Amino acid sequence: MDYKVERLLVNYKTLEEFKKFKEYGIQELSMMDDLETNIIENDSESPFYGIYFGDKLVARMSLYERKAKFDQYFDPKQDFLELWKLEVLPNYRQKHYGSILVEFAKSFGKPIKTNPRVKSEKFWDKMGFRSVSYDMDRDLGENPLLWTPETIISQ
């Protein structure tokens, strides 16, 4: 069975679906506020990508492009993607939705940085993400993991 990864649009239906996810916070509340006060239009593009099962959003992640000048992770400095809020709803786990989303992120061909939740090391290792050397000034309480496309590794 094939699953389509979709860019999520900011509208009341999407924001209602977001409430089912554990990592719900100021980002989602701010999107709701921007929609209610017409700061953003209905159906604007969000930084979220997701997988629907029927009309129910069952997995999501957020992706954001960082410019090379803000890069503190890769050498040489380069544009990269920051991935966060990767989450699959409890009843839909073990179906590779998480892997499908991460592979989708990789398909942009840019290095990726993520700061995973605790106890997901095996998943990220399987996806080819590697730990950095911890740097307190940069990382504080983060556990940064990096993925680099092979074309860059082989340089």
> What residues line the site for its own copies (CB under 8 A)?
22-27, 29-30, 47, 62, 64, 82, 84-85, 115, 118, 131-134, 136, 139-144
> Residue 19, by phi and psi: left (phi above 0), alpha (psi -120 to 50) or beta?
alpha
Nearest distance in Å: CB 35, its own copies: 13
Q: Phi first, then psi: what are they for 52, rounded to 5°?
A: -100, 145
Give min distance, CB of 29 to its own copies, in A.
7
Q: Which is nearer to its own copies, 20 or 95 (CB)?
A: 20
Structure tokens at 51: 């997988």
For 13, residues 6+ apart whose C-beta sits below 8 A from its C-beta are: none
Contact between 144 and 113 under an 8 Å Cβ cutoff? The reply is yes
Residues 53 and 92: beta-carbon distance below 8 Å: yes
Residue whose CB is less far from its own copies, 42 or 131: 131
Q: Give min distance, CB of 135 to its own copies, in A.
A: 9
Q: Which is nearer to its own copies, 53 or 78 (CB)?
A: 78
Residue 136, SS3? Answer: helix
Nearer Cβ to its own copies (85/106): 85
Minimum CB distance to its own copies, residue 95 (Å): 23
